[in-house]
């Protein structure tokens, strides 16, 4: 490691409060005391320049925010509470200190919002592209984490918020590179793409609710993500596309540009809302929309449309 | 994700036994039950093509082995037992299935040796370079993990095995690209570089021994790594370079090539032996060599040489 890297790590270390009894950045490992009746959750995701993001299209603060957010969203998808994160970065020499500072400010802002400190990591150089890996540890009352495999025939299928905003925001960025349209709806959709808010509180409330069965976060688009629940649970589903929650901003921008909001809602990705199933009659403690029903026989049936939707591909 | 990627993940999943009660690959998160009186250890490291390895110089099996080994070594450096790993890979499209299979076979061989399953991860594409990130969770009896900050004046400074072999192995590879010298000593040194064995059992025994104070693994070379212990502990040290453990293979190859074995032992890196300090009179339960002593006043003094040694740089 070079001197500059130690300085960077010291700076990062100074940015994060670490709870009593926890050993964070600065040794071979972080150490977390364990407590009774809890499960540890772990998730990891890699973000690669040119694949998941383009440096010319994203500001460093948003990239830092999103790197943490998409990983915390996986903890939300299990119903857990994030405990700490571990961040690895391969940094091209062309990135300046201003970029790194912005990145970590965004990363920290999202982390602070959910009281989830950075507890460790690794920084190294990269010959050309920026590569970011985040691992999150979370915890959950033992037995409460919600799996993809727990959907039951007759369950209602629900989502916690509007779909398609992030995909529309990305499309706005890509189609108007250099000349962003600065109307309020466009700004809101771009914000949904760049600074998603993981549904941590919602996930924890849902995990504490009897009758909530399968759960996951929506990262690839409902058309793709729901299939995971169906495969793991050995069930099918019908989705009424007319019931999909669409934001006013999405409707406005789609009407103006001739885009199909339903396609963006189903086939787009990166909404980071929660997708869950629950027994009819469950008192669901968070805002949500019912979009369909789990069926005993395999197969995914779209109602209110004559098309099929297969989800978002990073590739 | 593409179909080929799911097949890859299914194949990987089939390769690893997961303990009862643990949820591994296939959901948003891995879930690990917690038990009383234990601490969780977490470490993460990123390996980047062109920075940490060159694809033309390393076989896939060794790259997989080493990716797991260098991370488990950080668990060994705390005195912990590895519990599971999380692997992220950004894969250039130029890598073929044979490469990936070899990589995972090597990764699995090292993991199996220490009974440490792969519990999760992420695979994505990369525009050009291969990037690998490994996170390891480990555990330790509460209060037993050995920190860098615990060295005390008067402690003996010890290492668990020979130093410099890996650095010599790397130098052999780089200086004889395409025409490796296939004598036995050269093969052994290259093996030490490509397939290091983390000192897990040794670390656990040392962590269970009263009188063993500070500990870490040797990844950057003793000249650099020891400084971490001294800084964190607020102490100094004297090292007698004449007492450094040098393997017969290192002496043989160095004599033949006119290399300085002491420089390789101190200034080279990637030995992945353990560096620890203990009170004089401690009954140390593992093979080791005493190489110096912790001093009350800051500063690192080399005895038996007139030079300074500053450690290995990846950069």
Per-residue pLDDT tens over the stretch B269-291: 899 999 999 999 999 999 999 99
The predicted model scores a pTM of 0.88
Look at A46 and B220 and tell me if their CB atoms are within 8 Å.
Answer: no
Picking from A28, A40, A77, the nearest residue to B34 by CB comes out as A40
Q: Is residue B314 over pLDDT 60? A: no
Nearest to B279 by CA among B162, B149, B161, B150: B150
Say whether A48 sits in a helix, a strand or coil.
strand
User: What is the value of ipTM here, to two decimals?
Assistant: 0.87
Q: How far is CA A63 from the centre of its chain?
A: 13
Q: How far is CA A266 from the centre of its chain?
A: 16
Per-residue pLDDT tens over the stretch B139-149: 888 888 898 99
Interatomic CA distance for residues A210 and A38, integer angstroms: 18
254-293 in chain A: CB under 8 A from chain B: none
The bridge status of strand A274-278 relative to strand A212-217 is antiparallel
Length of chain A equals 315
Contact, B130 vs B87, CB < 8 A?
no
| H-state helical runs in B31-178 | 60-78, 97-113, 165-175
Interchain contact A214–B (C-beta under 8 A): no
Q: How far is B81 from chain A (nearest CA, A)?
A: 12
Interchain contact B19–A (C-beta under 8 A): no
Which residues of chain B does A126 touch, with a Cβ-Cβ cutoff of 8 Å?
A: 48, 50-51, 129, 131
Look at B23 and A147 and tell me if their CB atoms are within 8 Å.
Answer: yes
**B201 phi-psi bin (left φ>0, alpha ψ -120 to 50, beta other):** alpha
Q: Is the dihedral of CA A162, A215, B24, B5 positive or negative?
A: negative
A294 phi and psi, to 5 degrees?
-80, 135
Interatomic CA distance for residues B212 and B177, integer angstroms: 42
pLDDT, residue B15, reads 65
Which residues of chain A does B126 touch, with a Cβ-Cβ cutoff of 8 Å?
A: 48, 50-51, 129, 131
Quote the DSSP letter at residue B154. Answer: T
| B3 — pLDDT class (breaks 50, 70, 90) | very low
| B128 — pLDDT class (breaks 50, 70, 90) | confident
pLDDT, residue A313, reads 39
pLDDT, residue B6, reads 56
Look at B40 and A45 and tell me if their CB atoms are within 8 Å.
Answer: no
Nearest to A246 by CA among A161, A309, A173: A161
Q: How far is CA B8 from the centre of its chain?
A: 27
Q: What interhelical angle do B184-194 and B165-175 show, nearest 10?
A: 110
| H-state helical runs in B114-183 | 165-175
87-116 in chain B: CB under 8 A from chain A: 88-90
Q: Which helix (H) or strand (E) segment is B198 a member of?
A: none
Interchain contact A81–B (C-beta under 8 A): no
pLDDT, residue A4, reads 52
Q: Where are the beta strands (DSSP E) in chain A?
A: 30-33, 38-48, 81-92, 118-126, 131-141, 156-159, 212-217, 236-240, 274-278, 289-295, 299-303
**B76 phi-psi bin (left φ>0, alpha ψ -120 to 50, beta other):** alpha
Q: Which residues, 6 or more positions from B297, have their beta carbon under 8 angstroms from its beta carbon?
A: B235, B236
pLDDT, residue B154, reads 98
Nearest to B276 by CA among B171, B168, B161, B188: B161
Interchain contact A243–B (C-beta under 8 A): no
Picking from A51, A125, A133, the nearest residue to B315 by CB comes out as A125
Name the more confident of B67 and A309. Answer: B67
Q: Is residue B12 over pLDDT 70? A: no
Contact, B112 vs B77, CB < 8 A?
no
Q: Where are the beta strands (DSSP E) in B106-257?
A: 118-126, 131-141, 156-159, 212-217, 236-240
Q: Is residue B309 over pLDDT 60? A: no
Quote the DSSP letter at residue B22. Answer: -
pLDDT, residue B244, reads 96
What domains are there in chain A, each with its CATH number?
A: 3-141 (3.30.1330.10), 148-303 (3.90.650.10)
Cα–Cα separations (whole angstroms), residue A12 to A154, B149, B172: 49, 20, 38
Picking from B28, B75, B232, the nearest residue to A43 by CB comes out as B28
Contact, B224 vs A5, CB < 8 A?
no
Cα–Cα separations (whole angstroms), residue A129 to A53, A86, A181, B92, B104: 11, 20, 29, 12, 24
Q: How far is B92 from chain A (nearest CA, A)?
A: 11
What share of chain B in percent tops pLDDT 70? 86
The bridge status of strand B81-92 relative to strand B118-126 is parallel
Give pLDDT < 70 ranges for chain A. 1-13, 15-19, 21, 23-31, 177-179, 307-315
Contact, B46 vs B132, CB < 8 A?
yes
| B1 — pLDDT class (breaks 50, 70, 90) | very low
**CB under 8 Å, gap of 24 or more: what pairs does A226-229 form?**
A226/A157, A226/A275, A226/A300, A227/A300, A227/A311, A228/A148, A229/A148, A229/A149, A229/A151, A229/A275, A229/A277
pLDDT, residue A12, reads 59
The bridge status of strand B212-217 relative to strand B274-278 is antiparallel
Per-residue pLDDT tens over the stretch B160-188: 999 999 999 999 988 876 667 788 999 99
pLDDT, residue B315, reads 32
Q: Give the chain B residue nearest A131 (alpha carbons).
A: B131
Picking from B51, B120, B122, the nearest residue to A46 by CB comes out as B122
* CA max distance for chain A: 61
Quick one: how many helices (H) and strands (E) in chain B? 9, 11
Cα–Cα separations (whole angstroms), residue A218 to A58, A266, A268, B28: 21, 10, 10, 10
Per-residue pLDDT tens over the stretch B225-280: 999 999 989 999 999 999 999 999 999 999 999 999 999 999 888 999 999 999 99
Mean pLDDT of chain B: 88
Interchain contact A42–B (C-beta under 8 A): yes
């Amino acid at each position: 490691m070079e001197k500059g890297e130690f300085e960077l790590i010291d700076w990062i270390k100074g940015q994060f409060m670490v709870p009593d009894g926890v050993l964070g950045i600065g040794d071979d490992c972080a150490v977390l005391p364990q407590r009774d009746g809890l499960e540890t959750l772990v998730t990891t995701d890699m973000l690669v320049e040119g694949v998941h993001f383009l440096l010319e299209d994203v500001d460093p603060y948003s990239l830092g925010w999103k790197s943490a957010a998409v990983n915390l969203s996986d903890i939300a998808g299990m119903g857990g509470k994030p405990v700490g994160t571990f961040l690895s970065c391969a940094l091209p020499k062309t990135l300046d200190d201003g970029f790194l500072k912005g990145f970590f400010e965004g990363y920290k802002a999202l982390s602070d919002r959910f009281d989830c400190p950075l507890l460790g990591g690794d920084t190294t150089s990269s010959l050309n592209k920026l590569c970011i890996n985040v691992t999150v540890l979370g915890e959950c009352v033992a037995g409460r984490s919600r799996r993809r495999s727990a959907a039951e025939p007759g369950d209602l299928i629900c989502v916690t918020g509007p779909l398609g905003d992030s995909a529309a925001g990305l499309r706005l960025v890509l189609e108007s590179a250099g000349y962003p349209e600065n109307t309020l709806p466009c700004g809101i959709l771009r914000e949904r793409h760049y600074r998603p808010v993981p549904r941590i509180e919602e996930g924890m409330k849902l995990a504490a609710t009897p009758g909530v069965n399968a759960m996951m976060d929506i990262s690839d688009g409902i058309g793709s993500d729901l299939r995971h629940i169906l495969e793991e649970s050995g069930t099918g589903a019908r989705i009424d596309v007319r019931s999909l929650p669409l934001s006013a901003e999405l409707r406005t921008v789609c009407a103006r540009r001739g885009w199909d909001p339903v396609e963006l809602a189903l086939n787009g990705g990166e909404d980071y809302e929660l997708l869950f199933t629950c027994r009819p009659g469950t008192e669901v403690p968070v805002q949500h929309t019912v979009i369909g029903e789990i069926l005993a026989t395999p197969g995914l049936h779209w109602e209110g449309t004559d098309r099929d939707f297969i989800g978002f591909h990073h590739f």
